Structure 1
Amino acid sequence: MKLADVIAVLESAYPPKTAESWDAVGLVCGDPAEDVTGVLVCVDPTQSTVDEAVEVGAQLLVAHHPLLLRGVNGIPADDPKGALVHKLIRSGTALYCAHTNADSALNGVSDALAHAIGLEVTGPLEPADDPGTGLGRIGELPEAEPMRVFAQRVADALPATVQGVRATGDPERLVKRVAVCGGAGDSFLGAVARAGVDAYVTADLRHHPASEHVEAGGPALVDVAHWASEWPWCEQAAEILRQAFGGRVEVLVSTRRTDPWTVGATSSAAGGHA
C-alpha cells in the first residue's frame, strides 16, 4: 500500500476538518507516494517511539499528540524536535498525527477509554454537529457498583503509571452512569455536573477546579495519567487500519511507556488537619 492509502483511511476515521482551529494534525513528514508495509501507533511522538518505529521497520508512525503543535521557523537537527524529524526522514519513516479530530470522532479517543473501562457508550459529553461525534463520552456500566470498586476497575483497565488512579467522594457511593474524557478534561466539569452522571473519568484535573466541583456536590471524580487515558486509542486506531488493509500492512501498537512521570515517592511528613 502507498502512504496516501493509509492516510485516506485515517482521515476517513478521523476527519481533519473536525480538529480544533488551534490544532496541528495530518502528515508531518513523509512522501504519500512511498510504499508502506508496516505502521506503528503511539500516543506521543518522542525519541523512544521514533526509535521503536525504526527498530520494527515501520514506514509510518501514527501518533495522537502533534509533534509540531506551535509554529516553528525551522527544524535544525540540534533541536530536540528537529532531531526527530531528521531521524524520521533519514530512516524513511513518515509521521502522521491525529489529535483533536481523533478526540471528537465517532469511535475516537474517549470511546476507546469508555470501552476499556467497560462502559456502554450512549453519546458524547459535548456533542458536535454530526450525530455521535463530539468531545468526551457518556456511558453506563452493566450494574451499579461502589465508587471504590469502580476506581479499581479504572486502574485495572489502564496501563500502570507513577501517578496511578486518584478518586474523590464516598467510597461506597454507587456508580453506574459515567462520563469520560481522554486527555485533559477539567474544562468539562460544568458539562459533567449537568449530565446527570455518577462519576467522571479524565486526566490532568487541577486542584482548584476539582475542589470547587466536589464542594458543589458534583459527580465523583477519577483522575488518571494523561498518557494512560489516551493509550486505549492506539489499539482502536490500529484495528481500523488492520480491517482496512486485511493483512497487507502490519500494524503494531507501541510498547513504549511515554508518560513523562517516571519516579514515585511517598511523603512521611505530617501535615494538614481533618
Structure 2
Amino acid sequence: MPTTLADVQDVVEALWPRSGAESWDAVGLVAGDPAAPITRIRLAVDAVLDTVDEAVSSGAQLLLTHHPLLLRGVTSVAEDRYKGAVVARLIRGGCALIAAHTNADVVERGTSAVLAARLGLRDARPLVPGSEPSVGLGRVGRLEHPMALGRFARAVADVLPPTAQGIRVAGEYERELRTVALCAGAGDAFLQHPAVLAADVYVTSDLRHHPASEAAEAARLGRGPALIDVSHWASEWLWLDVAAEQLRAALPDIEIAVSELRTDPWEFAIV
C-alpha cells in the first residue's frame, strides 16, 4: 500500500503532537487531500512563493514548514495576494502543506534544543519547562569552558546560515560567559524570565528596541545577561535537518529533502 498524506500526518503527530502547540497557534494540515499518495516531502521554515515553487518543481507532494501559512485569519485567497497565490500554487501543483510550529519548539529535539546542541551547551534544559523534564520552550545550559562574549558571538555566527542581519550583540566583548539561555525564534517575551536573568548571555531573535535597550542597561548594572540577536529564520532552519532525519526513520520509503533557500526577509544590509 502506498504511503498517504494521512499516514504522514500520523507520523507528524507522533513526532510533534498538536497538544504541545500554544493555544494561539495554527498547526497541522493546511492544504491537501489526506488520501493522496506521498513519495516526496520537502522541508522549509516558511511557506513562501519560492519554497512552494521549489517543492512543486522537485515533484514533492508535501511541503512541511515550521511557520504556519494561515496563522492569522484571512478573508480572501485571491491569487493577487501572497497567501492566495501560495495556496493556489500548492493545489495546482498537487502539493500538500503541513505546519509544525510551537509543537516542534517544545519537543526534546525541537528548535531550541537543536540550536543548544549545535552551540555545544552542556546539561541543557528547557527555559520554560513543559510536562516532562526534557520538554518545553527555549533552553538553558553551560559552556564546556568559559568564553568571551565576542568569541561566543563568532561561534554563533559560524553555526547559523549567513543572513543580511548577521549577529547583533549587546555587551562587552570580553565579558566572560559560562551559562547560556536561548530561544530559537522570537524570544523577547522571556527577557525577564528568572532563568534568562541568571544566565550570562541570552540568544534569541526579533529583539525590539525598547525591551532590548532596557535589558542591556540592566546588564551594565550586573542585573541580567548580554544579548545576542540573530535571524529568526536562521535560528530555526537548523531544526530542519533533525526533522528530516526523524521523518526518514519513520518513513523509509519516502524521499525527504531540506530546502536550502534562504527565506529570511532581509536581502542585504548597508552599514
Shorter-chain TM band: over 0.9
Whole-Å separation in 2 of the counterparts to 1:238 and 1:244: 10
8 Å Cα contact 1:183/1:227 also seen in 2:
yes
Matches within 5 A, 1:1-274: 1-191=3-193, 196-217=198-219, 218-246=224-252, 248-266=253-271
Could you tell me whether the CA contact under 8 Å between 1:179 and 1:192 is conserved in 2? no
Match of 1:270 in 2: none
Q: 1:26, 1:226 → 2: CA distance?
A: 21
Which 5+ residue runs of structure 1 have no aligned equivalent?
267-274
How far, CA to CA, are the matches of 2:56 and 2:30 in structure 1? 16
What is the rounded CA distance, in whole Å, between the counterparts of 1:178 and 1:184 in structure 2?
16
Q: Match of 1:250, as an amino acid?
A: E
Q: Secondary structure at the match of 2:191?
A: helix
Q: Distance in 2 between matches of 1:94 and 1:224?
A: 30
Q: 1:203-223 CA distances to partner (integer Å, 9 max, x unpaired)?
A: 011111111112222111111
2:50 alignment partner AA: S
Residue 71 of structure 2 aligns with an amino acid whose one-letter code is L
Distance across 1 between alignment mates of 2:115 and 2:164: 19
TM-score, normalised relative to structure 2? 0.93
Asked if structure 2 preserves the Cα contact closer than 8 Å seen for 1:165 and 1:222, the reply is yes
Alpha-carbon contact 1:122-1:137 (below 8 Å) kept: yes
- Could you tell me which amino acid in structure 2 is paired with residue 249 of structure 1? I
Listed as ranges, the gaps of 5+ residues in structure 2 are none
2-side partners of 1:176 and 1:8: how far apart? Answer: 41
Q: CA RMSD in A?
A: 1.4
* Distance (whole Å) between structure 1 residues aligned to residue 266 and residue 124 of structure 2: 33
Report sequence identity in percent.
54
CA contact (8 A) 2:60 2:95 kept: yes
DSSP 3-state at the match of 1:216: helix
Give the deviation of 1:195 after TM superposition.
5.4
| TM-score, scaled to structure 1 | 0.92
Q: Structure 1 residue 89: deviation in Å?
A: 1.0
Deviation at 1:146, TM superposition (A): 1.0
Segments ≥4 residues shifted beyond 6 Å? none
Letter in 2 for 1:143: H
Kindly indicate whether the alpha-carbon contact (under 8 Å) linking 1:14 and 1:98 is maintained by their aligned counterparts in 2. Answer: yes
Contact 2:196 2:202 (C-alpha < 8 Å) held by counterparts:
no
AA aligned opposite 1:243 = A
- Cα gap change, 1:135 to 1:259, in 2 (>3 Å): same
Residue 121 of structure 1, CA deviation: 4.7
Tell whether the 8 Å contact from 1:16 to 1:26 is kept in structure 2 after alignment. Answer: yes
Say if 1:204 and 1:225, in contact at 8 Å, map to a contact too: yes
Q: Distance in 2 between matches of 1:119 and 1:207?
A: 28
